[in-house]
Amino acid sequence: MDRGESLVFDRAVEYYDRTRSLSSASMDKLIPLIRRDAGDGPCLEIGVGTGRIALPLQAGGTAMVGLDLSQPMMRRLVHNAGGRLPFPLVAADASSLPFADDSFAAALIVHVLHLIPEWRRALEELVRVVRPAGALVIDIGRETKGPFRDLLAQFAAAANIPETHRGINDAGELDAALGELGAELTQTHVIEEVRRAGYDKTIEALEAGTYSITWAADEAARHRAGAHTRRWAEARYGPLDRRYDYRLEIALRTYRLSGF
Ligand SMILES: C[S@@+](CC[C@H](N)C(=O)[O-])C[C@H]1O[C@@H](n2cnc3c(N)ncnc32)[C@H](O)[C@@H]1O
């Protein structure tokens, strides 16, 4: 897949929920925050994935519609909902939404825009399908810092792949682009959890292709890069079974569309 395409998550289905789920304490903070902006809906979630956020939102009373490029991710969403369709699901691309203008009271897009080279087009589409004075709730996904970032930088250089995502990586750019489309930033919230990881486990995950940023490298290149990263990390940090702290976070930005 070249850098010009969005990243479809078909290959992540088997481990996505295990590696990305937030604690129930974080979810208890997150869902009311989104619900405050999305209200009773209808709320469109772009890149709805396995329903990590849409399912609890729907359960809390917001009428959801989910859209994703990946049918396997949405099949998992249905499985996570107990095997029945919890709300309408649409297989489509964020940059060309199959909805009429002003169809939704709100839209949600979490950890997706960093995957889409045409993220500006996706924003235009969001603004088109959300009603005047409606809300956009967005988390572009943050660049990580600390050991993970350093391990990824070594790995990416050795595998000859970019170490930044193919879509948007900067919240300031998002604010400016949405400002041009008549949407004003009204709230920001960060929910974070500190977790522990092992250096060895992180390198194994990079090698295994767990993170979408590593999908640009084939298996052989990932193994070569893993061996290089292991040598580098041992020299830099010592024994690789030691652990380090990292932050898992959702950084929400809410924008209000103009009323006209
Ligand atoms: C990192 S997952 C996030 C899933 C969910 N939003 C969450 O927070 O758990 C990214 C999702 O966006 C989807 N995706 C990527 N590019 C897309 C596009 N251009 N249009 C629609 N969905 C897209 C992927 O298939 C994947 O399911």
The minimum-distance atom of ligand 1 relative to the CA of 93 is 20
Q: Which residues line ligand 1 (CB under 6 A)?
A: 6-9, 20, 46-47, 49, 52-53, 68-70, 73, 93-95, 110-112, 115-116
Q: Is residue 231 part of a domain?
A: no
| β-pair partners for 106 | 43, 135
Q: Is residue 253 part of a domain?
A: yes
Q: Give me the domain span that covers residue 132.
A: 10-143+167-194+248-257
Q: Is residue 134 part of a domain?
A: yes
Residue 193, number of CB atoms within 10 A of its CB: 13
Q: Is residue 160 part of a domain?
A: no
| Residue pointed to by tokens 């932050």 | 247
Q: Distance (Å, rounded) from C-alpha 250 to C-alpha 154?
A: 25
Q: Are 73 and 49 in contact (CB under 8 A)?
A: yes
pTM beyond 0.75, yes or no: yes
pLDDT of residue 51: 97
Q: Is residue 162 part of a domain?
A: no
Q: Is residue 137 part of a domain?
A: yes
Per the structure block, which two tokens stand in for 201?
């486990």
pLDDT of residue 1: 40
pLDDT of residue 142: 65
Q: Are 69 and 8 in contact (CB under 8 A)?
A: yes
Angle separating helix axes 13-20 and 71-80, nearest 10 degrees: 60
CATH number at 26 reads 3.40.50.150
Q: Which of 50, 55, 112 to mutate to test the pocket of ligand 1 (most atoms within 8 A of CB)?
A: 112
pLDDT of residue 143: 62
If you take atom 1 of ligand 1, which residue's CA is the nearest one?
111
pLDDT of residue 3: 36
The minimum-distance atom of ligand 1 relative to the CA of 45 is 6
Task: Work out the burial of residue 215: count CB atoms within 10 Å of its CB; fewer than 13 is exposed, 13-18 middle, 19 or more buried.
Answer: middle
Q: Is residue 161 part of a domain?
A: no
**DSSP category for residue 213:** G
Give me the number of domains the chain comprises. 1
Q: Distance (Å, rounded) from C-alpha 5 to C-alpha 37?
A: 31
Sheet holding 104-110: strands in order across?
A: 89-91, 64-68, 43-46, 104-110, 130-139, 243-257, 183-198
Q: List per-residue pLDDT tens for the chain, 260 residues long.
A: 433 577 777 777 776 777 778 889 999 999 999 999 999 999 999 999 999 999 999 999 999 999 999 999 999 999 999 999 999 999 999 999 999 999 999 999 999 999 899 999 999 999 999 999 999 999 997 666 789 889 999 999 999 998 877 789 899 999 999 999 999 999 999 998 888 889 999 999 999 998 888 988 999 999 999 999 999 999 999 999 999 998 888 899 999 999 86
Q: Is residue 33 part of a domain?
A: yes
Counts for the chain of helices (H) and strands (E), in that order = 9, 7
Residue 104, number of CB atoms within 10 A of its CB: 25
Q: Which of 13, 52, 68 to mutate to test the pocket of ligand 1 (most atoms within 8 A of CB)?
A: 68
The minimum-distance atom of ligand 1 relative to the CA of 95 is 19
